[in-house]
Every structure is written in structure tokens, then in C-alpha cells.
Amino acid sequence: MNETATATVTAAGSKSQQAYEAVKARIVEGTYTPGYRLVLASLAKDLGFSVVPVREAIRRLEAEGLVKFERNVGATVAGIDPTEYLYTMQTLSIVEGAATALSAPLVGEADVARARAVNQKMRECLDHFDPVRFTQLNQDFHSVLFEHCPNPHILDLVHRGWNRLGSLRSSTFRFVPGRAHDSVDEHEALLQLIEAGADAATIEKAARLHRSATLDAYLAQAQPLP
Amino acid sequence: MNETATATVTAAGSKSQQAYEAVKARIVEGTYTPGYRLVLASLAKDLGFSVVPVREAIRRLEAEGLVKFERNVGATVAGIDPTEYLYTMQTLSIVEGAATALSAPLVGEADVARARAVNQKMRECLDHFDPVRFTQLNQDFHSVLFEHCPNPHILDLVHRGWNRLGSLRSSTFRFVPGRAHDSVDEHEALLQLIEAGADAATIEKAARLHRSATLDAYLAQAQPLP
DNA sequence: GCAATACTAATCGTATACGATTTCGTACTT
DNA sequence: AAGTACGAAATCGTATACGATTAGTATTGC
């Protein structure tokens, strides 16, 4: 059997949990593309489990918005129509902004240095532009900034938002390449705010606008998503 | 697809759904108090279903934070230690503030009038103070203000927050009676902001502070929760 | 008398089985 | 020929059954 390289090796005994993580991984990494039909029996046979744990896993993924479920019909990998993208990005702008602001006082020098290093890689990435790598680095960067958020509820909401966007992380910056440059600059500005111990409201506003700007750039592009 | 405020007519064919709603109702209305142990077999026998749909319902409630679940041990109605209360209120202050701001442009005169009527009842309620009724009216009031939020994700987060607080809605204002008076005044101020077509940021800030103030009042009280 | 261990009861986790519902293809009717 | 009605295949929903794990209790050894 093959394991996902990025997996945290949870090795959770529960098969529901295993199924959950397996399916989630396949969705996020793109093995199951949006619209893909998730048949319980097939998945169960594929994973070697019975349908019951798989079913539970699917319902959990539904709750997170990663799959769409229709009674007596089945589950499909949640699509990302532009409307959903807008909703998700808007929600993320709000909760991530808050998380970043709440996290800021707990971000130490080492964290800032790490974030800055990531941002530097992003800047280098601008030349021979690789959207996938860039978006991955982007997530790494922001993770450093909000991961210290002391409120686990908010942090969870942020993670869910990123997960939902994960399905199209390969394409986010592909559609708005011009945005990448500004993004890197805004990152540096954000770091300086944090270093300076800026007001929570200021940091929140900056973080939110940073995300909103990406959303706006996408909307301006008005390119239909796959 | 989604149930309106006037629930109870759902009668969703799925037994999972029925079980979900039944258990949720009993938690929110207080039949199952925090810490109550939810035994699958007992619930199933009680509801007349098998354990499988009940199990699914419990997991959904877990995802919403209404019950706590421990593997191979069982589920209990989620307690509300002060820490959790703080987290939930803080999260709610953020998402409800955003929802209210996004909703504001869509709130018509009729809505404002309705909200004001509710607030008037709350003011009358101040004399012979009934915490339960007051908190119910409070929810009604805010529902009018955020229910038009065009982003369903955010709206859903607001609903979840209110649900989590539902278990102690009978006690929220019981512990901070002095807060009730200020709350009514802030409601009126909020209505005037909306009527005047105030800036989204202004409305968001006001709505958030309104909730934060309740949280702060509670924290100042520093009374341990049941 | 106290503590550690073995045993029992309760409960959860998963598998298998069967009934219910939907969907799609085919044949028949107009 | 087109639309409708019927039927079969696929899939989901739920029930029942059994194995696995935990918690509580009694017993035994020191």
C-alpha cells in the first residue's frame, strides 16, 4: 500500500478515521477531482474496509464542505463554482484575518524569520513562475502567522477554509499571475506590522485586505473555473 | 434544503436526520444537560431506530461541537467550561459581526421595524427580569439583523455559534443582569447605524463590540459556570 | 490493610444482510 | 418518430450480529 508523503502518520486506529484521512487526502491532492462520484461500496472495497466507516468518513467530509451529498443518490467531490469560491474566500478573509491578529502577539522572532524565509522563496519563485509551488509556499507563509492563534475554534475554521481551497490550490495563482508580485510585497508589510507590535485591529485589517485583494483580482479576471 | 427558523416541520425522511434533529432539540432545549452521557443503544431504543442512524447523528453533532466524543468510550453532551464559552463567544463576535455588516445593506425598513419591536419587548422585559425570555428575544433581534447575510458559509457559522450557546441561553443574562440594560441601548444604536446606511466596517465593529461587551461583562463577573 | 491483577459487564466499532429509492435503458403506444 | 410507461440494475439507508475495547469490581497476594 502507498502512503501520502505529507501525511502526519496519524495511524489512527479507527477505520472511520483512516477512511476519512485517506479520502480527504485524495481530494486535496487532486486524485479525486471535483464532480468525481464517490460510491460507498467502491471506496470500501478499495480501502479494504466495510461501507459503514466509509460512510461516516463521507459524512464528515460533507460537514467540512469537501463533498456534496444527496440523499439516495450519493456523494460527489464538492465542485468549486465561482460562487462557492467567492463565499469561501470571503469567509476565509474574515476568520484568517482574525486568527492572524489574535496570533500576532504570540509570534516570536524565530517565527517571523521563518516566514520571511518562506516569503523570500516566493519572491525567487516569481521569475520562473510555478503556480503550484507558489501557492504551497503561500500556505506555509500564512500558516506561520495564524498557527499560534489561541482560539482553537477560529483556527479550525481557518484550516477548513484552506482545505476547501486545497482542491484548486494548483490553479489559484495560475489565473491571477499578476497578483503574485503584490502578494509578496504585502507579506513583507504584514511581517513588519507584526514585528512592530502593531494594533490588533490594524493587523486584522491588513490580513483581511491581503486576502480580499486576491479575491478581487480573481473576480476582475472573471475567468470561469473548471 | 435548509430549515427555516420555524422548524419542527422538517419530517425529513432520513432517520439519521430525524435522530439528529431529535437529539439536537433535546440538547438545545435542555432535556439533556451538559455532561449527560449519550449511549447509542439507549438513544436508539428510545427513538425507535437502530444504532447506525443514531451514531451518524451523534457524529454530526460532534462536528458542530454540541457533543464531545471519545473513542471506545462514548459521547457526552458538550460541557461549557468558561474557556469554551470564551472561545465560542469570541468566534461568534467575529463571524456575527461580519454577517451583520454583510447583511446590513439588505435589511429593509420592515426588518428594522421588526427588530425595533423586539428590542422594545426586551426593554419592557427589563423590569420584571426574565433571563430566559430576554435571551430568546436577544436571539430574535440579532437574527433579523444577520439573517440576510448573502454568504451562506458565514451564516452557517453564526448559526452554529448560537447553537453552541443555546445550551446555556437560560443563564447567559442570568449571570450578568447588569449587562441587559446596556445591551438594549446598543441594539438601538446598531439599528440607527443600519438605517443611516453606515459603512460596513462601522457596522461590523459595532456588532462585534456589542458581543464582546457581553463577553467582557461575563468575564468580569468571573462566576464559574455550572 | 493495601495494591496489583484478573475477570465481568457495558459500550463502542465494524461487518454483513436486506429493504428502499433512484436512475437509466428499453419496449410499447400514440 | 416521439413520448411515456415499465422494469432492471445500481446505489443508498437501516437493521441485526459479532468482535474489540474500556471501565468497574472482585479477588488474591504481600
What are the pLDDT digits (tens) for B198-218?
A: 999 999 999 999 999 999 988
B81: confidence class by pLDDT, cuts 50, 70, 90: confident
Quote the cell numbers at residue B158.
453564526
Residue to substitute from B153, B155, B162, interface A, most A β-carbons within 10 A: B153
Phi, psi of A70 (to 5 degrees): -125, 130
Radius of gyration of the CA atoms of chain A, in A: 19
A3: confidence class by pLDDT, cuts 50, 70, 90: very low
Q: Is the pLDDT of residue A128 over 60?
A: yes
Q: Is the pLDDT of residue B97 over 80?
A: yes
A vs B: CB pairs below 8 A: 53
Q: How far apart are the first and last CA of chain A?
A: 31
Give the DSSP letter of residue B31.
S
Share of chain A above pLDDT 70, in %: 89
CB B172 within 8 A of CB B226: no
pLDDT of residue A137: 92
**The dihedral sign for the CA sequence A188, A190, A194, A197:** positive
pLDDT of residue A223: 52
- How far is B216 from chain A, CA to nearest CA, in Å? 16
Question: Are A151 and B90 a contacting pair at CB < 8 A?
Answer: yes
Residue found under cell 467582557:
B216
Residue to substitute from B16, B62, B91, interface A, most A β-carbons within 10 A: B91
Q: Is the pLDDT of residue B9 over 50?
A: no
Task: State the Cα angle at A149 between B213 and A84, rounded to 5°.
Answer: 90
**The dihedral sign for the CA sequence B65, B68, B71, B75:** negative
Summarised one tens digit per residue, pLDDT across range A177-196 is: 788 899 999 999 999 999 99
Task: State the Cα angle at B28 between B16 and B151, rounded to 5°.
Answer: 75
Q: Is the pLDDT of residue A83 over 60?
A: yes
Helix (H, G, I), strand (E, B) or coil at B74: strand
> What is the rounded average pLDDT for all residues in chain B?
87
Question: Are A94 and B154 a contacting pair at CB < 8 A?
Answer: yes
Q: How many Cβ atoms from other residues are within 10 Å of residue B123's Cβ? A: 16
CB A221 within 8 A of CB A175: yes
Cα(B75)–Cα(B70) distance, integer angstroms = 6
- How far is A56 from chain B, CA to nearest CA, in Å? 7
Is the pTM higher than 0.85? The answer reads yes
A49-53, A123-127, A172-176, B156-160: segment of lowest average pLDDT: A172-176
Summarised one tens digit per residue, pLDDT across range A7-32 is: 334 456 789 999 999 999 998 888 89
Q: Which residues of A touch B (CB under 8 A)?
A: 13-14, 52, 55-56, 59-60, 63-65, 71, 87-88, 90-91, 94-95, 98, 151-154, 157
> What is the rounded average pLDDT for all residues in chain A?
88
- Bases in strand D with any atom closer than 7 Å to a protein CB: 10-17, 20-23
Q: Is the pLDDT of residue A166 over 80?
A: no
Question: Are A71 and B151 a contacting pair at CB < 8 A?
Answer: no
CB B217 within 8 A of CB B98: no
Q: Which of residues 108-127 of A touch strand D (CB under 7 A)?
A: none
Q: Is the pLDDT of residue B127 over 70?
A: yes
The DSSP string of A31-66 is SS-TT-EE-HHHHHHHHTS-HHHHHHHHHHHHHTTS
A222: confidence class by pLDDT, cuts 50, 70, 90: low
**The dihedral sign for the CA sequence B13, B16, B20, B23:** positive
Higher pLDDT, A24 or A221: A24
Helix (H, G, I), strand (E, B) or coil at B69: strand
Mean pLDDT for B61-89 is 89
CB B35 within 8 A of CB B18: no
pLDDT of residue B224: 47
Nearest Cα to Cα of residue A78 among A89, A95, A64: A64
